[in-house]
């Protein structure tokens, strides 16, 4: 896929969950577009390896559990001390909830709390501390949170995941409303199922078959698209995040950008 390569020249970005999956695609794309990127993740080995591959002048890894407030504060401080500012936070880290129970009758509330802690509290902490740094520095920054098609519909994932992703829309709208006066834009990118390690884990659990391949998973993902002839990739999602991170979307705030090939608006899929 052809991409312009100068959309983020001189910008400093944090990408949470950047060690693999959609986050990794975003790290590569943001660096390719001229940004300095901090990968924030709990996967130290993968994160360090990717940062090394990108090059020390444009990329660094910082261990961070997004659910821990002191980790997020340290992450923002690290970024500002390394590159002098923070322009973009891409709140991408998220987990699914294998064995959480597929419906409300079977919810395991400890697992429910764990999902909320990463998927919702983690993103709220990112919004809070990135926005503080931007406001203090007078930076007209950008914050992107990660929803999902499960942000707007139920029945596709275990309840806790669906609830957490619906709540992200509230977080994005509240933050966009509060931060507009500082020139800070806040948006959401909401992908359909896309082949990543997280998806594979979910798919293996849902199908009860630990041996399913990435190809099987891709075919399953394709069934959640109305746009035939193209399988959704992590790069497609990262491209939408790039749009929201760049000046191409300079008057866009509070948006939920659904990247689903028209799936959620196509009722015949459910017939």
Q: How many residues bind to ligand NAD according to rule CB under 6 A?
A: 29
Residues 216-255 that bind ligand NAD (CB under 6 A): none
Long-range CB pairs of 40-49 (<8 Å, 24+ gap) are 40/14, 40/15, 40/16, 40/64, 40/66, 40/75, 40/93, 41/16, 41/17, 41/93, 43/19, 46/19, 46/20, 47/18, 47/19
Cα–Cα distance for residue pair 145/157, rounded to 1 Å = 19
Residues 38-77 that bind ligand NAD (CB under 6 A): 41-43, 64-67
Cα–Cα distance for residue pair 95/154, rounded to 1 Å = 17
Residue 166 Cα to chain centre, angstroms:
14
Residues 156-195 that bind ligand NAD (CB under 6 A): 191, 193-194
CA end-to-end span of the chain:
33
Cα–Cα distance for residue pair 82/64, rounded to 1 Å = 16
Asked if residues 227 and 262 have their Cβ atoms less than 8 Å apart, the reply is yes
Cα–Cα distance for residue pair 41/21, rounded to 1 Å = 12
The tokens of 106 are what? 């079977």
Least distance CB 6 / ligand NAD (angstroms): 25
**Identity of the residue, 185 or 202, whose beta carbon is nearer to ligand NAD in the bound complex:** 202
**Identity of the residue, 7 or 62, whose beta carbon is nearer to ligand NAD in the bound complex:** 62
What's the DSSP call for residue 119? I
Q: What are phi and psi of 189, to 5 degrees?
A: -115, 125
**Identity of the residue, 139 or 164, whose beta carbon is nearer to ligand NAD in the bound complex:** 164
Asked if residues 27 and 35 have their Cβ atoms less than 8 Å apart, the reply is no
Least distance CB 197 / ligand NAD (angstroms): 4
Cα–Cα distance for residue pair 110/122, rounded to 1 Å = 17
The residue within the footprint of ligand NAD, chosen from 8, 17, 97, 163 (CB under 6 A), is 17
Among residues 90, 161, 182, 243, which one is catalytic? 161
Asked if residues 75 and 62 have their Cβ atoms less than 8 Å apart, the reply is yes
The reply on whether position 19 binds ligand NAD by CB under 6 A is yes
The residue within the footprint of ligand NAD, chosen from 199, 217, 244, 257 (CB under 6 A), is 199
Least distance CB 210 / ligand NAD (angstroms): 17
> Active-site residue 243, yes or no?
no
**Identity of the residue, 91 or 139, whose beta carbon is nearer to ligand NAD in the bound complex:** 91
Give the x/- contact pattern for ligand NAD in 87-116, rule: CB under 6 A: -----xxxx---------------------
Least distance CB 257 / ligand NAD (angstroms): 12
Nearest to residue 38, comparing CAs of 9, 58, 52?
A: 58
Residues 112-151 that bind ligand NAD (CB under 6 A): 118, 122, 146, 148
Least distance CB 78 / ligand NAD (angstroms): 14
**Identity of the residue, 139 or 148, whose beta carbon is nearer to ligand NAD in the bound complex:** 148
Q: Which sequence positions are flagged as catalytic?
A: 161
Where do contacts with ligand NAD occur on this chain (CB under 6 A)? 16-17, 19-23, 41-43, 64-67, 92-95, 118, 122, 146, 148, 191, 193-194, 196-199
């Amino acid at each position: 896929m052809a991409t312009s390569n100068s959309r983020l020249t001189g910008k400093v970005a944090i990408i949470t969950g950047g060690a693999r999956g959609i986050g990794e695609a975003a790290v590569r794309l943001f660096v390719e577009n001229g940004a300095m990127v901090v990968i924030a993740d709990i996967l130290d080995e993968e994160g360090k390896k990717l940062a090394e591959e990108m090059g020390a002048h444009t990329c660094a890894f910082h261990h961070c559990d997004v659910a821990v407030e002191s980790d997020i504060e340290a992450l923002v401080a690290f970024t500002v001390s390394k590159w002098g500012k923070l322009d973009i936070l891409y709140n991408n880290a998220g987990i699914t909830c294998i064995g959480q129970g597929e419906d409300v009758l079977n919810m395991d509330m400890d697992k429910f709390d764990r999902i909320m802690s990463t998927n919702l509290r983690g993103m709220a902490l990112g919004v809070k501390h990135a926005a503080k740094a931007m406001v203090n520095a007078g930076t007209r920054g950008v914050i992107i949170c990660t929803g999902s098609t499960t942000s707007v519909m139920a029945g596709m994932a275990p309840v806790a995941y669906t609830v957490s992703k619906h709540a992200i829309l509230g977080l994005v709208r509240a933050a966009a409303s509060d931060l507009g006066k500082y020139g800070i834009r806040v948006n959401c990118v909401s992908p359909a199922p896309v082949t990543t390690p997280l998806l594979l884990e979910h798919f293996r659990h849902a199908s009860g078959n630990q041996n399913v391949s990435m190809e099987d998973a891709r075919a399953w993902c394709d069934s959640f698209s109305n746009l035939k002839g193209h399988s959704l990739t992590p790069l497609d999602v990262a491209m939408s995040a790039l749009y929201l991170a760049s000046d191409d979307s300079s008057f866009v705030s509070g948006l939920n950008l659904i990247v689903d090939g028209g799936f959620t608006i196509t009722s015949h899929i459910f017939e």
